[in-house]
A and B are shown apart, each in its own frame.
Chain A
Amino acid sequence: MAKTKRTIGHSLLTKESSAGVLFTLPFTVGFLMFMIVPMGISLYYSFCEYNILSEPKFIGLDNFIKMFTDDAIYMTSLKVTFFFAFVSVPIRLVFALIVALILLRTTKVTGFYRAAYYLPSIIGGSVAVAILWKRMFAIDGVVNALLGKIGIETSFSWLGDKRTAIWVLILLSVWQFGSSMLIFLSALKQIPSNLYESARVDGAGKIAQFFKITLPLLTPTIFFNLVMQMINGFLAFTQSMIITQGKPLNSTLFYAVYVYQQSFEFYNTGYGAAMAWVMLALIGAVTGILFATKKFWVYEGGL
């Protein structure tokens, strides 16, 4: 009896799958505790009237109905977020690709430049950079000072004008092109050079080479970057929270910031949770649409 027990214990220990389970445990436990459980709770709250201070009260679909019928600011935040994601992501990707193409050629200083261009991606999402950005675009900030130096004296309020404020945030986001750039860079290196050689032999110029070889072979990478950055774009929070808090006139009110405001400033936490779940559905839908378009433009065949 005791012997069989030991064998079972032994076999459990030596089984390869046990090791797998063991090693993934830190992630699994964290994922369950800090993702799945809170998500479940937030799903429950989304059907509740919940003000944090007192117990949640079940109200069915009221939060969702209110969102789409009786909350103009919600619609504004949705528009702002879509605008931000659909404008900043393509610009950022184009930028990343251009810089990646430039840095593809190896010289003595490319290593330095790669690191330098990657830096904003690491620090760009931080509070410190957001504050720096805010100061740069202040009325008495460095941007206006530089404009003054080149003869354009101005006390224009970049963050105070609803036409420009969102662009300040988009610019910050575009500036963080480093991680996409690195991914492009490694993809570019994998394109076999014999393709370019034969193209040259056939008389194709640089531009034709780019559009006929480089771009088609990059489409899987572009697709990956697009999906990931799009999701990030929808979830943008720090920039708006630190720099503008949605001001002026809600023209920079990102969805996530509005969720935060409803949840923790107005104490409508149930409503905030409902909004977060709608965002989940929206991101799912947008990602789904992107995947659906994949077969029309992404090259997946072998070489």
Chain B
Amino acid sequence: MRKVLAMLLIGSVFCGMMAGCGSSERAGDEQSASGTKGTDTEESGSEEGSTGGETNLTFAWWGNQTRNEMTQGAIDLYVSENPGVTIDGQFAEFNDYWNKMATSSAGHTLPDIIQMDYGYIEQYANNDLLLDLTPYIEDGTLNVSDIDEKNLNVGKVGDGIYGICLTVSPPALTYNKTLLDENGITVKNNMSMEEFFDVCREVYEKTGYKTNISYGNDVYLTYLLRANDEVLYEKGKLGVKSPESLQKYFEIYELGLEEGWLLDPGVFAERTLGSMEQDAMVYGNSPETMSWCSFIWANQLSAIQNAAPEGMELDMVTYPSPDPEKCNFLKPSQLFCVTVDSKNSEEAVKFIDFLVNSQECNEILLCERGILTNTKMGEAIIPKLSDADKKAIEFTNNVIIPTSSQVNPAPPEGSSEVSSLIGKMIERGCYQEISAEDAAQEIFDQGNEIMAANADK
């Protein structure tokens, strides 16, 4: 009997660590939950968030080294202009950022100001985690008069405005210009799929550099589906009518594998996906582990250029597409929100106003997050821009805006799980573990199931 007891004891103590892990954030939850519910968010300004006349704000964003430095610069400027206010800047990579936000929301300890993605705002607003900014816009604390209506509506969920869209950015195929120039290879805007494949083949034959096609994410797939008027994520289901259009996408990988120009998936096993610093276009030590291009967003050019080795010049063209006009779009790249957990919401809103309207601030941030929605400000900072930023702006204004369509609606709940499923399928496809047909079928079946399950919630 004693042995059994001893065994149970050992077992339970160790597993406790694990079972507890699933919800360790909950311990403090009860207290702080009652804390925030009991106090009105607006009135409680002088309680925990501030001490001795000081206002402490926290501000979280995702990003890269370039953005972190710039944003910290903007924070320093604000703090120096506003004595008595301190701002604690917190940053993480995109994926980690959302894990962190989710757990903080459970503990009711969300930062005062958070950077918000178009893909998450519905979910956060619908779960009452964000503050409606309408009253502040009405009383003038937050001046959005220079942001046009279309961009302002991006932050609208139901009747409230929950986020201010600071920047927009189009998808852009960035490429290693130095490499292509040296070998006399040209790329152009609005390439057809066949033209793009020819470039991939030519680059591979001449230089040994391979091609990374949006590995592990759904960005390019979403983009291509727009050519058939299909929206990947719809409420409760996938917006594709049959697995065929998904299959067409996966056939690109099959083609690349067959012809040898697709980047080996083993390269990505040791990288943080989505990190500009570790992107296969700028990071790697031999042609067979590097890509000549990267499917990213125009605003990311400055960050990835900063991460590139000396002497590597980057440039961008549109994603290859059978129908550029339908496929191209401007994505609201960054929204800023005040959370319900903020004890100093008024001060937090003032900081967002600073981000939108301060010229000095935007001279620091420049266009790293995208083209400013505050058009006046966008013009004012042009002289300060780096070459990479100027390229991104020219690209957006001259290439994208004249031939583009409306962005897809904000993806509903469940999309992040399906997105991860697509990433996994791309992985399996690249390892030749699954055929394009089967991958498409699996995404179609499981994806619809996941979206449906999330719609019932």
Q: Which residues of A contact B (CB under 8 A)?
A: 33-39, 41-43, 45, 49, 51-54, 57, 134, 137-140, 155, 157, 159-162, 165, 227-228, 231-232, 235, 244, 247-250, 256, 259-260, 263-269, 272-273, 275-277, 279-280, 283-284, 287-288, 291, 294
Contacts and interface: CB of A to CB of B under 8 A. Distances in A.
A284 B15 contact: yes
28 contacts: A42-B22, A42-B23, A45-B23, A53-B102, A53-B106, A53-B127, A139-B266, A140-B284, A140-B286, A155-B288, A157-B266, A159-B270, A160-B265, A160-B269, A161-B266, A231-B14, A235-B15, A248-B431, A249-B427, A250-B424, A256-B21, A276-B18, A276-B21, A279-B19, A280-B19, A284-B12, A287-B10, A291-B3
The 6 A-B residue pairs with the shortest CB-CB distance in the complex, in nearest-first order: A160-B266, A157-B266, A160-B269, A280-B15, A53-B127, A42-B23
B20 A138 contact: no
Contacts of A259: 18, 21-22
Contacts, number: 164
A231 B266 contact: no
A149 to B, nearest CB: 17
B331 interface: no
A244 B427 CA distance: 13
A280 B11 contact: yes
B23 A273 contact: yes
A229 B428 CA distance: 33
Given A35-B16, A157-B264, A283-B14, 19 more contacts: A39-B16, A54-B127, A57-B457, A139-B266, A140-B285, A162-B431, A165-B269, A231-B14, A235-B15, A235-B17, A247-B427, A248-B266, A248-B269, A267-B417, A280-B12, A280-B15, A280-B19, A287-B11, A288-B7
A272 B428 CA distance: 24
A57 B456 CA distance: 11
B124 interface: yes
A247 B215 CA distance: 13
B114 interface: no
B207 interface: no
B22 A263 contact: yes
Given A45-B23, A53-B105, A263-B22, A160 B270 contact: yes
B278 to A, nearest CB: 11
B26 interface: yes
Given A53-B102, A160-B268, A280-B15, A287 B7 contact: yes
Contacts of B3: 291, 294
B95 interface: yes
Nearest to A43: B19
Nearest to B17: A235
A38 B24 contact: yes
Interface residues of B, number: 53
Contacts of A160: 264-270
A283 B17 CA distance: 12
At the interface, is chain A mostly helix, strand, loop or mixed? helix
Given A157-B267, A280-B12, A52 B19 contact: no
Contacts of B416: 265-267
Contacts of B20: 34-35, 38-39, 42
A283 B18 CA distance: 11
B129 interface: yes
Contacts of B95: 265
A277 B19 contact: yes
A294 to B, nearest CB: 8
B68 interface: no
The listed residue with most A CB atoms (<10 A of its CB), out of B16, B22, B27, is: B22
Contacts of B124: 53
The listed residue with most B CB atoms (<10 A of its CB), out of A39, A134, A227, is: A39
Nearest to A286: B11
A279 B416 CA distance: 26
Nearest to A243: B270
Interface in B236-295: 264-270, 284-286, 288-289
A229 to B, nearest CB: 11
B261 to A, nearest CB: 17
A279 B270 contact: no
Interface string B102-118: 11011000000000000
Nearest to B424: A250
The listed residue with most A CB atoms (<10 A of its CB), out of B15, B16, B26, is: B15
B250 to A, nearest CB: 16
Given A52-B105, A53-B127, A155 B23 contact: no
